[in-house]
């Protein structure tokens, strides 16, 4: 371990309190403009730092890792998802990868429920109508949405965030269904009165709302494929606050346009930040700019986890949030 302060390159602007603490503890080089680093800048950064404090906007593939200098020993990711990092290639080169799990769970779950209600109750459409001067008074059949209470919610991926969504949803009177690699514990299942489906196809055909919370891996690419989306009932809605690659966005757009799926609430997109122009035009799609963890509290907590991971590595110990290929 280096006895000097390690050179830490931070690829995006982080909360001021986090950056200040990094400057106190490390030889930290900050990104003052908050512009994502170019490929050339990333190559230059990994060639001269001890620690790369990365974010989701950095594509850290095997080719980039091959360019890393001898000093690079830690990629401390600011975020829970690491699908933008080739963890196996980093591991093979002796570079540790860490993330920031847990601290964004509650905020992402809150936003998931927000999207459910906004989509079912046509909140964005209503707000836009008011802004456009189209509201001329109450009418019995205008801007009708759907009641949330009593609906069946199908959760795809019952990890930290999926479970937090389920707890909130149960309080709103939804019936909880879920698909996971394995059932949750009996205590959790009893608490949530949750129904487990080992077949994703069978669950999709029976629920009113689908909320996606699986990790993004090669195996989960287009987990909700065009074929599976067609299994949904016409009144169903789809919510995604996980990763855009989990859903075949083109197929979803077509089914929404055809009225074969009632609505979608999306915080993430397949070609982010690019969004399918056809999707942008659909009134039954509620679209947000990847803001699931966008609270002051979550972003500060994430930064503190990055600092703890770096500091633990500096002290010669295994960082608490190390990611290894077998975990993906």
CB of 214 closer than 8 Å to CB of 187 = no
Q: Is the pLDDT of residue 327 over 70?
A: no
Cβ pair 215, 328 in contact under 8 A: yes
Q: In this model, does residue 320 exceed pLDDT 90? A: yes
Q: Of 47, 85, 54, 87, which Cα lies nearest the Cα of 68?
A: 47
CA 320 to the chain's CA centroid:
21
Cα–Cα distance measured from residue 189 to residue 158, given in angstroms and rounded to the nearest whole number: 11
Q: What residues pair up with 237 in beta bridges, in sequence order?
A: 209, 263
Band of the pLDDT at 2, cuts 50, 70, 90? very low
Contacts with 312 (C-beta within 8 Å, 6 or more apart), sequence order: 318, 319, 320
Each residue of 65-104: pLDDT tens digit?
Answer: 999 999 999 999 999 999 999 999 999 999 999 999 999 9
Domain 7-101+295-327, what fold? Rossmann fold (3.40.50)
pLDDT for residue 248 is more than 90: yes
Pair of tokens at residue 324: 């290894």
Distance (Å, rounded) from C-alpha 208 to C-alpha 174? 10
The token duo for 255 is 């089914």
The strands making up 74-76's β-sheet, listed across from edge to edge, are 27-29, 7-10, 51-53, 74-76, 96-98, 322-323
pLDDT single digits (tens) 153-173 = 999 999 999 999 999 999 999
**Is the pTM above the cut of 0.75?**
yes
Residues 165-185, mean pLDDT to the nearest whole number: 97
Catalytic residue annotation: 243, 272, 290
The rounded mean pLDDT for the chain is 96
Over the stretch 257-298, which tens digit does the pLDDT of each residue have?
999 999 999 999 999 999 999 999 999 999 999 999 999 999
**pLDDT > 90 in the chain, percent:** 96
CATH topology classification for 105-287: Rossmann fold (3.40.50)
| Every domain of the chain and the residues it spans | 7-101+295-327, 105-287
């Amino acid at each position: 371990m280096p006895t000097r302060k390690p050179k830490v390159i931070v690829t995006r602007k982080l909360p001021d309190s986090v950056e200040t603490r990094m400057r106190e503890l490390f030889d930290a080089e900050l990104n003052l403009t908050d512009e994502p680093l170019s490929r050339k800048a990333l190559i230059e950064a990994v060639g001269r730092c001890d620690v790369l404090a990365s974010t989701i906007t950095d594509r850290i593939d095997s080719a980039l890792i091959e360019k890393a200098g001898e000093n690079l020993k830690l990629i401390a990711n600011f975020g829970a998802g690491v699908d933008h990092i080739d963890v196996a290639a980093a591991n093979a080169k002796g570079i540790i990868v860490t993330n920031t799990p847990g601290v964004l769970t509650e905020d992402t779950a809150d936003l998931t429920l927000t999207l459910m209600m906004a989509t079912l109750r046509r909140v964005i459409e209503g707000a836009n109508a008011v802004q456009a001067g189209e509201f001329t008074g109450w009418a019995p059949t205008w801007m009708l949405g759907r009641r949330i209470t009593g609906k069946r919610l199908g959760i795809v991926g019952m990890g930290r965030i999926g479970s937090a969504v389920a707890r909130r949803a149960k309080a709103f009177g939804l019936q909880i269904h879920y698909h996971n690699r394995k059932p949750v514990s009996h205590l959790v299942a009893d608490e949530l009165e949750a129904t487990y489906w080992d077949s994703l196809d069978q669950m999709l055909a029976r629920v009113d709302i689908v909320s996606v919370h699986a990790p993004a891996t090669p195996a989960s690419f287009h987990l909700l494929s065009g074929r599976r989306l067609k299994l949904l009932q016409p009144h169903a809605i789809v919510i995604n606050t996980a990763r855009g690659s989990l859903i075949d966005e083109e197929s979803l757009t077509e089914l929404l346009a055809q009225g074969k799926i009632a609505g979608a609430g999306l915080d993430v997109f397949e070609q982010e930040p690019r969004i399918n122009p056809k999707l942008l035009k659909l009134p039954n799609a509620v679209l947000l700019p990847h803001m699931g963890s966008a609270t002051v509290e979550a972003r500060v907590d994430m930064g503190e986890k990055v600092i703890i991971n770096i500091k633990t590595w500096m002290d010669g110990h295994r960082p608490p949030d190390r990611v290894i290929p077998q975990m993906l």
